[in-house]
Amino acid sequence: MKLNELKDNEGARTNRMRVGRGIGSGKGKTGGRGQKGQKSRSGVAIKGFEGGQMPLHMRLPKRGFNNPFGKDYAEVNLGMVQKFIDAKKLDAGKDIDHAALKAAGLARGGKDGVRLLGKGELTAKAKFIVAGASKGAIEAVEKVGGSVEVVEVKEPSSKPSKSPREKKTEKKSA
């Protein structure tokens, strides 16, 4: 075999069909779309539609559970905290809270605060102010001489305001 004898397999390269270019092309006039109807128009996407039959995504059972009362914590391991202290991104002399961890780029998300986990090893003495901590994490921090203060993150009071109908009934009863 020589370089000048190299060639593609039969049918590996085909030219693009140019649709709607006259009756002689074999794909002229309606461009292979048939006559009339939704699919003959442009801008149509019937994804998941199965001609009136119950679509597959609706036939399959629903799975899982999304807890509306579940807490969203940013989970931080002690090993990563130590790594950031060594890299001088965190100051062990000051209190380490959600704001400090977020500023260092260690805690992402966590609208309900930070939860401290015991993976890794902590050697620096530090005071943590967090929304939650595992038993192992608390023991590891206290073993080095630090402390963990668990505080609940206060949620903004989102009591629903009274509807106009409830306000009217209050006025009548008063």
- Residue 158 has what pLDDT? 52
Q: What's the whole-number mean pLDDT along residues 120-149?
A: 91
Grade residue 137 by pLDDT with cuts at 50, 70 and 90: very high
Q: With a cut of 70, say whether residue 157 has pLDDT above it.
A: no
Per DSSP bridges, beta strands 127-130 and 95-96 are parallel
What 3 state SS string does the chain have?
CCHHHCCCCCCCCCCCCCCCCCHHHCCCCCCCCCCCCHHHCCCCCCCCCECCECCHHHHCCCCCCCCCCCCCCEEEEHHHHHHHHHCCCCCCCCEECHHHHHHHCCCCCCCCCEEEECCCCCCCCCEEEECEECHHHHHHHHHHCCEEEECCCCCCCCCCCCCHHHHHHHHHHC
Q: What's the whole-number mean pLDDT along residues 75-98?
A: 90
pTM confidence score: 0.53
pLDDT tens digits, one per residue of 44-53 = 878 888 888 9
Grade residue 168 by pLDDT with cuts at 50, 70 and 90: low
The CATH code for residues 74-150 is 3.100.10.10
- Residue 161 has what pLDDT? 58
Q: Chain-wide mean pLDDT for the chain? A: 87
Grade residue 38 by pLDDT with cuts at 50, 70 and 90: confident
Q: Where do we find the tokens 């579940």?
A: 70
- Residue 170 has what pLDDT? 65
- Residue 109 has what pLDDT? 85
Q: With a cut of 80, say whether residue 14 has pLDDT above it.
A: yes
Query: From CA 108, how far away is CA 101, in angstroms rounded?
Result: 9
- Residue 10 has what pLDDT? 93
Q: With a cut of 80, say whether residue 160 has pLDDT above it.
A: no
pLDDT tens digits, one per residue of 54-68 = 999 999 999 999 899
Query: From CA 108, how far away is CA 72, in angstroms rounded?
Result: 11
- Residue 162 has what pLDDT? 62
